[in-house]
Structure 1
């Protein structure tokens, strides 16, 4: 086999990344392992290692760019041959060059989902099928797919992840590893030939190891007992289907062969589990019961006025005397917002505002983004049948561009006068008929019926305005802390998703725009930190203000998806019109509030109390998606809302 490349680091010269190296070795050894995913942050040598692996095989790396079109990737009409013969002929795509080689895709999580599905089908079946207009055919594609991704940019769907046989995560480097990385890269820049020679022996040993393992692999056996262990492990982590079980057995066999053995041992299965299970771990299961002290605390909050006042007194005493929350409370030390909450709440209650119906009010919860948790499906405003879904961080929805900007995705037959002609598709449409047409000296004759128009797509951002009830009824300290932390988490996530997030709070007698839609995490942190709570609930005024703001916003941000996330118990006590019934007025306002291009999501912060369905009625009036806090806890609520936004 040829020696390692001199224009890149040799495989054995790459520092660390033991799991990724093992995954690539297994893929080289086993023809059954066809897909490998390397996950890690920027600058963790994922691409370097993937390209270095080709030096062990003698195969070529075929790079698949993210902006490739379907015609270029899979194939389509061979225009030249079709024009010459008058018979539709197929032209193979980029995947034909990957046959017998290694297909490499960098940042695969940013690839169009339809294209990715087609690639995975081709790689796993070993055949590319082309069905395009007058062209129908297929060609072989026996290849190994090596892909990389940075999960901080976005994530792949669960289905796409499951189709990767192996997945390795890049760990952070130690101080000594960092020193070696810098040293070897400096040597590569100054003396690549010398570096290749220095690692030539280790490269040759590595080649011999994988070559020997490939010969041993057909003789490797695995016992029924270990197969049972594999199945049990896959079941424990909630891996759906059998892909994980099969991949894990194949990986364990390859590891045994790499270790020079013809039988799989338990340690091989354990090593294979690291590469086959983490990306298949399912969160689509009932969550574990919360700790007992947390359950007790929630119970105390729901028991009634006396218990609530007793707990509040204990919290204040414990924090005021020691500067720390009582042990086992699970609460954070007091901050400015907590002090404002107590001061404002007390001030307003002195002004003839008794606790509503003698009940304590559930504290606020908002949406934390970024962590992967099992989430029950959000409830549709029309169809309240609970189901389960897994929501992962991913890309914003792709929308068809109406202004001629964006990525050329496909072509269509124009409905009127075309403004953006797709010349490639037009020529392909005309090619089969050239033998029948009078060309008058033209290379190709095009008629009106051949004209095709470009369909351009771009990722559409979204704006989420959180309309938060900051009144005394929802001023429990722990919940407002969750609101702040969750909004900040969504702001961090919005940088990746191109989303903007704003915050409007309502309390006392008005609604205030605390944070206009922004992507600035630092600015939002300062604004949220100083947000006070307490006072009455001007729900009707808040609906009007939010409606006015988002109506204007949607008009100036055409094509952007807009949402208002209302967090409240739905119990208003400050009417807009003097003397009106506040709750009836709020419902009437909601029924008449229709904002083009803006959708509502209602989070019922009072759903845990019996006999109150104000928020649910409000959601129905707004035609909004409805959540109950008793169904989605603070950690999982974020992903439920994100799933609703991403639908």
Structure 2
């Protein structure tokens, strides 16, 4: 992770770093520490947009600047973008106070302007709202930010290193944003007890005396800053030979990545890696290190694929020979090949701390996470390889979810397919998404209302205040406003929804091999929900109880794993299944009262578990109907003799009843589409 962060600051064109990992692994800590070890930058004095004095035509609204304009040196900024930030805070907007009090239209810069020539850090980037993701995509692609809103028309430069951290358990990134990150790393807590003890020891030492702890690493940080500065000066002189470029193209072709961005990122990262080690020619090890950082997140063909890299294939493509780099004269203080022999030795680009792990700021050293997944480890500095740590025994595989004494079969889902768009009727007010019509904070303006929360509708605010100016004593100058004049914009966009499946997983379902089709349908709808920002959940009932197998989520990786382990068999506790579904819906209503749910009950209507199973099931169904829960009953009963119990159940639920001869994935998805559209 540290190596990836350093390389992207040496060559900002690499495109930033995405850090994926479990909670409690200091992802945010190391990113926030990055800015303090970066060399300062020169900017035009007084310019709010951090223009480079060497740029002949800086894109700054504060310009143009004189050729001999004063300059100043300042540290690199680390700008944090909160997941709940508003659009005007990110882009910037009209300076409302001056517009209303002085009548002047003045632009107030946002976070993108502040992050120019710095680092834009998004913690929990996978939870960022879609409209903010779109803004980042535009700025990252064009290197500038364009603001056209509220009577303001401004364009300014926005070159920044985008760094994001995320926990995959909370959902995945959109493919477009994922591809914008040049590099990605997987981090995990070390499994080596000695390394864990060292982490705790350092943390406790910091808590006792933060100043003394920081002072003990001041020399190491200065050394690291000098090395980064030297690499930044050298990277422009690094030569990428035709043989090296061909090898990069072969690697990308072998891993079947989309587009050409991977080739560019690997080339730039390999050059930065060579400069980091004081070389002026790219070697095989530089390409290998770059590929390990640039390819894992680009191999994913769909959201169900886990990120990773086949390193055996990478070594096979790279081969043994070097891609013909330019020869370098040996340095007098070391023998050729010393990099491979002396871990942590100086490599000619400046002094380095020892390889003992005592310097947490050295990317190639530090406590080794050797017990973590080797695919999850960042590319190691070839001159500072650590001794291999013993691999701990793998934890025992968990039992299938819901497995019990009456578990009979576990059926895997088929390949997911593309579903048609379905939308809930009417206009809601839920979380911004891409499915149903709703009044949201983004979208087209359809009107205005009094209030203080939300984007200000300047035109309507002025229009409301204008008729009262004479009564307020205005004879000239700016308009006079009162708090009751303020109007905020009503916008119509799209919301996300919750589709909760309540599936009969009893023996009758397993006997007719229906679970495979049901699982495939749920996975397909989950994939569609991932693309449209919906939530999907799964409740199953079998034996004597119901179980929440998949809590409402957008994390398709976790969904796929849990659905594959879903068993089927035993009796049918229908009432317990309905009660558990109602509990999940009520809990989601507390968490987000604006999200509209749809319960999809997949059953043949039989109730065979517990005392008076039929009467109890009907009583629970009538209670759900009185609560107003929108429900769709998919009737799984087939064969020449049918009892029609599912239709009776649908009547008690006041739900739509869909008779299905066989619960195939295509028929089930079509039934859901018809119900909610």
Q: Give the alignment's TM-score, normalised by structure 1.
A: 0.60
Which deviations, in whole Å up to 9, do the C-alpha atoms of 1:412-437 show, x marking residues without a partner?
Answer: 4448xx47564751456435998897
- The question of 1:365 aligning with 2:411 is answered yes
- The question of 1:186 aligning with 2:204 is answered yes
Match of 1:77 in 2: 94
**Residues 414 and 451 of structure 1 are in contact (CA less than 8 Å); yes or no, is this contact kept in structure 2?**
no
Which deviations, in whole Å up to 9, do the C-alpha atoms of 1:190-249 show, x marking residues without a partner?
Answer: 222222222122212211211111111111111222222222322333321111111111
Match of 1:8 in 2: none
Which deviations, in whole Å up to 9, do the C-alpha atoms of 1:410-461 show, x marking residues without a partner?
Answer: 794448xx47564751456435998897261486347999733556998754
Match of 1:503 in 2: 540
Match of 1:248 in 2: 266
How far the C-alpha of 1:590 sits from its partner, in A, is 12
**Residues 140 and 180 of structure 2 are in contact (CA less than 8 Å); yes or no, is this contact kept in structure 1?**
no
- The question of 1:444 aligning with 2:480 is answered yes
Alignment of 1:461-472 (within 5 A): 461-468=498-505, 470-471=507-508
Match of 2:244 in 1: 226
**Residues 539 and 572 of structure 1 are in contact (CA less than 8 Å); yes or no, is this contact kept in structure 2?**
no
Q: Distance in 1 between matches of 2:416 and 2:642?
A: 35
Which deviations, in whole Å up to 9, do the C-alpha atoms of 1:92-111 show, x marking residues without a partner?
Answer: 22222112322211111111
Describe the shift of the 1:178–1:82 C-alpha distance in structure 2 as closer, same or farther (beyond 3 A).
same
**Residues 600 and 622 of structure 1 are in contact (CA less than 8 Å); yes or no, is this contact kept in structure 2?**
no
**Residues 60 and 101 of structure 1 are in contact (CA less than 8 Å); yes or no, is this contact kept in structure 2?**
yes
Match of 1:576 in 2: 643
Match of 2:161 in 1: 144
Alignment of 1:477-492 (within 5 A): none
Match of 1:168 in 2: 185
Where is the helix percentage greater, Structure 1 or Structure 2? 1
CA RMSD of aligned residues (A): 5.5
Match of 1:328 in 2: none
How many equivalent residue pairs? 481
Unaligned stretches of 5+ residues in structure 1: 1-19, 288-331, 343-362, 369-374, 383-394, 507-511, 578-584, 603-612, 627-643
- The question of 1:118 aligning with 2:135 is answered yes
Q: Distance in 2 between matches of 1:165 and 1:252?
A: 12
Alignment of 1:348-497 (within 5 A): 365=411, 375-378=415-418, 380=420, 412-414=445-447, 418=449, 422=453, 425-427=456-458, 429-431=460-462, 438=469, 440-441=472-473, 444-445=480-481, 451-453=487-489, 460-468=497-505, 470-471=507-508, 474=511
Q: Distance in 1 between matches of 2:657 and 2:225?
A: 58
Q: Distance in 1 between matches of 2:286 and 2:568?
A: 55
Q: Distance in 1 between matches of 2:160 and 2:154?
A: 19
How far the C-alpha of 1:64 sits from its partner, in A, is 1.4
**Residues 504 and 513 of structure 1 are in contact (CA less than 8 Å); yes or no, is this contact kept in structure 2?**
yes
Describe the shift of the 1:541–1:557 C-alpha distance in structure 2 as closer, same or farther (beyond 3 A).
closer
Describe the shift of the 1:286–1:223 C-alpha distance in structure 2 as closer, same or farther (beyond 3 A).
farther
Q: Give the alignment's TM-score, normalised by structure 2.
A: 0.58
More divergent stretch after superposition (127-136 vs 65-74): 127-136
1:237 to 222, 241, 255: 255
Unaligned stretches of 5+ residues in structure 2: 39-74, 306-397, 423-430, 553-557, 573-601, 608-613
Q: Distance in 2 between matches of 1:622 and 1:594?
A: 21
Q: Distance in 2 between matches of 1:573 and 1:56?
A: 76
Alignment of 1:514-533 (within 5 A): 514-515=546-547, 519=551, 531-532=569-570
Match of 1:21 in 2: 2
Q: Distance in 1 between matches of 2:506 and 2:224?
A: 63
Q: Distance in 2 between matches of 1:286 and 1:458?
A: 24
